[in-house]
Chains A and B, each alone.
Chain A
Amino acid sequence: MSTTTKREPQTEAVAGPVQRRGDVVFAGLAKGAGVLIMVALAGVGLFLLIEGAPAITASGDQAYGNDNIVLFVWPLLFGTLLASVIALLLAVPLALGVALVISHYAPRRIAKSLGYVIDLLAAIPSVVYGLWGAFVLAPAILPSYQWLAGHLGWLPFFEGPATTGRTILTASIVLAIMILPIVTAISREVFAQTPRMHEEAALALGATRWEMVRMTVFPYSRSGVISGIMLGLGRALGETMAVAMVLSVGIGVVTVNLISPQNPSTIAANIALNFGNASGTKINVLVFSGLVLFVISFAVNFFGRWIAARGQVKG
């Protein structure tokens, strides 16, 4: 019986709940399913650890020509973080704008349909984004890179040479498009939860719409937006196919030059590109890099959810 609901006194008045066999079995099954999920999550970490452990001693040819595993993982980790951070810088301002349009600026009638349209962006499979990024966006964006290299070449980011569109900046743009719907979805949800009274009070005091948004919506939804950004970051870190298909990879490169043909690869893309040909310890090396990715994205998601949960209690 529901012993922990609000109506505790009444249920306790009954002389103890009757235990039926069906109830016990069903409750056990339900609990088992819940525990299985926890076990699965622990299993992901455990099996990656088992398969990745032999990689710690790998060196030379087995570690793709690096002296040890750290030297192998570091450039990939750098590429992963670089691509994700650029994607965030591009996506977050846009996502906040789109979320504001849907929650506050668009007329009520069409706001919902606009939301659906943005959700469509999330529905498109990542491999299709990769295909589009590699064969449509990359050639189309090359002139802009040449312009950047020509006019802003003194900045380390745009050193060039701009000979291909398949750069880490293009990959980041594709990533940005992919995480935009996630950040938008969470932001617009928390924007819409702003108490109506706060908004109306601001408007009644003569605030313009922007002042109303800045004074009531933003302070109220700060933690929600931050958690949305964290979740978007988590998604960008783990995104594989778009990067693998778009990027023209240089081996072991660590550079902030965003538009050269020699780009740092990302962990996920590197696994996808090399797993098919790998054998022996190389597989362990790749699995180990996957473990690193798992730990990082787990941490990012963990903090994202934690901030969200903390914000909910406060609100």
Chain B
Amino acid sequence: MSSTITPPGPRADRDSMPLTNPQLPALAPWLAGVIAFGLAALTGLLLGWGWVGTAVLGWLLLLVVLPVWSLLVEGERRAKDRFVTTLVWSAFGLAMIPLVALIYQVVSKGAAVLSAEFLTYSMRGILGEGGGIYHALIGTFIVTTCATIMSVPIGVMAAIYLVEYGKGKKLARWITFLVDVMTGIPSIVAGLFAFALFTLIFGPAIRFGFGGAVALSVLMIPIVVRATEEMLKLVPDELREASYALGVPKWRTIVKVVLPTALGGIVTGVTLAIARVAGETAPLLIIAGTTTSTNFNPFEGRMMTLPVFIYSSVTTGGKYAAENEARAWGAALVLVAIVMILNLVARVIGRVFAPKTGR
């Protein structure tokens, strides 16, 4: 390979017909990057641009420098390839920016507020500084637990029907399809559904924690069904057949053989579903409402939750807007931490139990 030959090299002895096309050195993209961003930094400094302008200019330069260099040495097709490769990787880089910026902001602004008091006090009777998110933590815990208790049996049983009983039946096909569609229900619509349902039962302006749990279940069930279905499909048929051969009834086979085999995957799916709904705001805002004091009873009275706490903190405004915003960042940090830990736990469970799936 003529990987270290400089551009004019191969042109000079073209008549010797080399077997390989001339190529840019392996470090060419990095080199072009250094040149492009160096030029951009120089221009930016001279013209006094901000770093955003400089970065954009550097990127544009890179998009020109590398393909043109490649065009001169490697020809048109390779140049196009390099151009697209640069584009594709910059798309990835661009997608990373908000993630990094967001996590940095949440951690740096949230950590300033975090304290023992913040986690153990409610907002009862507090206007300015002080107070905490205890009531919201309790609310999120209760509502999410209720939603999980409702969603998991329904979701798992439905998945069992789809995989074990309904194979090839029309009803099962429809359920599968509708579950897929259901994953796309806007969360606020789920909240309105719960509100409309309980308004018809209990009369107007009803607000309570359990209603929030019902709304979250609408969002959670499809996720649980999908995850469980995928896992049950992975259970090898040999296990079921071995069990039938021993004369075990089908339902005991499912309970004692199929479910335990798929348990790790199901728990992973449920944990991910919990992580998803724990951060839902809109339905809880509508049906669980807001309050400043701790409420342990999901069937009576308004119940604050973490996401709603964040929202209501920044929308109240007024004299104590700064303190409220600070508390919102603290609550955001706690919420993100909870969701990330749940995600991590799910991945760990998934990895620990993975070999059982047989693939």
Residues of A participating in the B interface, judged by any CB pair closer than 8 Å: 1-2, 4-5, 20, 22-23, 25-27, 29-38, 40-41, 43-44, 47-48, 50-51, 93-98, 100-101, 105, 114, 116-121, 123-132, 134-136, 143-144, 177, 180, 184, 208-211, 213, 231, 234-235, 237-241, 244-245, 268, 271-273, 275-276, 279, 283, 286-287, 290, 293-294, 297-298, 300-302, 304-305, 309
Interface of B is mostly: helix
B112 at the interface (CB under 8 A from A): no
Q: Is B145 an interface residue (CB 8 A)?
A: no
Q: Min CB distance, B68 to chain A, in Å?
A: 17
B281 touches A309 (CB 8 A): no
Closest chain A residue to B277 by CB distance? Answer: A125
State in angstroms the CA–CA spacing of A210 and B282 once bound together: 43
CA distance A183 to B233 in the complex (A): 25
Known: A118-B95, A297-B189. 14 other contacts (CB 8 A): A30-B165, A37-B225, A51-B195, A100-B88, A101-B89, A127-B332, A128-B102, A130-B311, A131-B314, A132-B101, A271-B188, A272-B286, A294-B186, A298-B184
- Tell me the nearest residue of chain B to A270, going by C-beta: B188
**Which A residue sits closest to B186, measured CB to CB?**
A238
Our pick among A5, A241, A302, A309 for the contact of B282 (Cβ within 8 Å) is A241
- Interface pair B184/A210, CB less than 8 Å apart: no
> B41-55 CB contact bits vs A (8 Å, 1 = yes)?
000000000101000
Which residues of B172-189 are within 8 A (CB) of A? 172, 174-175, 177-189
Contacts of B161 in A (CB 8 A): 27, 30-31, 33-34
Closest to A47 in B: B196
When C-beta atoms are compared, the residue in chain A nearest to B289 turns out to be A276
**Does residue B315 face the partner (Cβ distance < 8 Å to A)?**
yes
Contact B279 A37 (CB under 8 A): no
Looking across the interface, which residue of chain A has its beta carbon closest to that of B180?
A: A305
A contact residues around B290 at 8 Å (CB): 276
Q: Which residue of chain B has the shortest Cβ distance to A93 in the bound complex?
A: B91
Q: Assess A125 versus B339: contact at CB under 8 Å? Given A30-B160, A105-B85, A283-B204.
A: yes
Interface pair B184/A22, CB less than 8 Å apart: no
Interface mask (B278-289 → A, CB under 8 Å = 1, otherwise 0): 111110011001
Is B355 part of the binding interface, using a Cβ–Cβ cutoff of 8 Å? Answer: no
Give min CB distance, A147 to chain B, whole Å. 9
Is B92 an interface position by the 8 A CB rule?
yes
B175 touches A43 (CB 8 A): no
Q: Name which residue of chain B comes closest to A120, CB basis.
A: B99
> Does the CB pair B332–A48 fall under 8 Å?
no
Q: Which residue of A lies closest to B283 (CB)?
A: A240
Name the distance in Å between A228's Cβ and chain B's nearest Cβ.
12
List, in ascending order, chain A residues with CB within 8 A of B251's CB: 20, 22-23, 25-27
* B336 adjacent to A177 (CB under 8 Å): no
**Binding stretch for chain A, among B7-15, B29-37, B151-159:** B151-159
Residue of B181, B192, B195, B279 with most chain A CB atoms under a 10 A cut-off? B192
Q: Do the beta carbons of B250 and A23 come within 8 Å of each other?
A: yes
Closest-CB distance, B156 to chain A (whole angstroms):
8
Q: How many residues of B contact A (CB 8 A)?
A: 104
Q: Which of B154, B172, B184, B255 interacts with A301 by CB under 8 Å?
A: B184
B254 to chain A, nearest CB (A): 7
Tell me the bound Cα distance from A252 to B274 in angstroms. Answer: 37
A211 touches B181 (CB 8 A): no
Selected from A37, A125, A209, the residue in CB contact (under 8 A) with B158 is A37
B335 in the interface, Cβ–Cβ < 8 Å? yes
Q: Would you call B252 an interface residue if the criterion is a C-beta within 8 Å of the partner chain's C-beta atoms? A: yes
Q: Which residue on chain B has the smallest CB distance to residue A289? A: B192
In the assembly, what is the distance between CA of A234 and CA of B190, in Å? 14
Bound-state Cα–Cα, A273 to B81, Å: 48
| B127 proximal to A (CB < 8 A) | no
CA–CA, A109 and B115, complex, Å: 40
- A41 and B189: CB pair below 8 A? no
Known: A40-B218, A208-B78, A241-B282. A123 touches B275 (CB 8 A): yes
Q: Are B157 and A29 in contact (CB under 8 A)?
A: yes
B160 — which chain A residues lie within 8 A by C-beta?
30, 33
Q: Is the CB of B285 within 8 A of A43?
A: no
- A127→B188 CA distance, assembly (Å): 13
- Residue B193, interface by CB 8 Å: yes
Report the bound CA distance from A43 to B195 in whole Å.
12
CB of A227, distance to nearest CB on chain B (Å): 10
Residues on the A chain within 8 Å of B254, using CB: 26
Q: Are B168's CB and A4's CB within 8 A?
A: yes
Q: Which 4 residue pairs spanning A and B have beta carbons closest together?
A: A238-B186, A97-B91, A125-B279, A26-B251
Contact B184 A235 (CB under 8 A): yes
A301 CA to B275 CA, complexed, in Å: 23
Within 8 A of A (CB), among B252-288: 252, 254-255, 275-276, 278-282, 285-286
In the complex, what's the smallest C-beta–C-beta distance from A19 to chain B, in angstroms? 10
Residue pair A98, B184 in contact (C-beta under 8 Å): no
A-B contact list, 26 entries, CB within 8 Å: A1-B244, A23-B250, A26-B250, A26-B251, A35-B175, A36-B158, A37-B178, A37-B179, A50-B196, A51-B195, A96-B91, A117-B96, A121-B98, A123-B343, A124-B336, A124-B339, A125-B307, A127-B307, A134-B314, A184-B95, A208-B81, A210-B84, A241-B282, A276-B289, A290-B188, A304-B184
Say yes or no: B167 contacts A5, CB within 8 Å. Answer: yes
- Centre residue among A32, A48, A97 by max chain B CB count within 10 A: A97
Closest to A25 in B: B251
Say yes or no: A98-B190 contact (C-beta < 8 A), given A38-B175, A136-B105: no
* B124 cross-chain contacts in A, Cβ below 8 A: none
In the complex with contacts A47-B200, A97-B92, A125-B336 CB distance below 8 A: yes
Alpha-carbon separation in the docked complex, A136 to B310 (Å): 15
Residue of A whose beta carbon sits closest to that of B207? A276
With beta carbons under 8 angstroms apart, the residue of A1, A35, A36, A268 that contacts B188 is A268
Would A94 and B95 count as touching, CB distance under 8 A? Answer: yes
**Contacting residues, chain B, for A144 (C-beta < 8 A):** 52
- On whether the beta carbons of A237 and B286 are closer than 8 Å, the reply is no
| Assembly CA distance A216 to B86 (angstroms) | 20
